């Protein structure tokens, strides 16, 4: 299976996971000049920007390391761009989550990182 196909299947499983927990996915693969956000969801009064990591052979600890400070900054900047285009969400709380999708499990890290001032 190609990396692209594996990634898309992981994103689909992550979206289903979030929806099974009451979140509403409102965007997928949002792109700006700064980067991409895999999923955008609503969790009551919070907008959630989600990075999805799909894996078949890596340890969870290895995947955690793949969300570098630079990757976090790109996601945060892309989220700001999203909010500038979708002002209807500007008054909501913002959260950055990471979902790890493996062959047999899904691990959700809510509030995995935040913007540092």
Q: What CATH code is assigned to 3-112?
A: 3.40.1350.10
3-class DSSP assignment, residue 106: strand
pLDDT at 54: 87
- How deeply is 62 buried, as exposed, middle or buried, from its count of CB atoms within 10 A (0-12, 13-18, 19+)? exposed
Question: Can you read off the two tokens belonging to residue 29?
Answer: 């693969």
Contact 93, 49 (CB under 8 A): no
Mean pLDDT by 10 residues, the chain (117 residues): 65 97 97 95 97 75 75 95 96 95 90 80
> CA 65 to CA 75: how far, in whole Å?
15
Distance of alpha carbon 43 from the chain centroid: 13
> CA 117 to CA 61: how far, in whole Å?
27
Q: Would you list the domain boundaries of the chain?
A: 3-112
Contact 18, 11 (CB under 8 A): no
Report the predicted TM-score, pTM, of the whole model to 2 decimal places: 0.89
Question: Can you read off the two tokens belonging to residue 116?
Answer: 């540092």
pLDDT at 88: 96
> CA 37 to CA 28: how far, in whole Å?
7
pLDDT at 103: 84
């Amino acid at each position: 299976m190609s990396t692209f196909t594996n990634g898309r299947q992981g994103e689909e499983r992550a979206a289903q996971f979030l929806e099974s927990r009451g979140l509403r996915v409102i965007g997928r693969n949002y792109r700006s000049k700064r980067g991409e956000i895999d999923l955008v969801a609503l969790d009551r009064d919070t907008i959630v920007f989600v990075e999805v990591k799909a894996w078949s052979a890596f340890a969870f600890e290895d995947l955690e390391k793949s969300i570098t400070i630079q990757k976090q900054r790109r996601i945060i900047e892309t989220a700001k761009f999203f909010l500038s285009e979708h002002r209807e969400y500007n008054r909501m709380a913002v959260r950055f989550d990471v979902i790890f999708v493996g062959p047999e499990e899904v691990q959700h890290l809510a509030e995995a990182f935040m913007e540092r001032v």
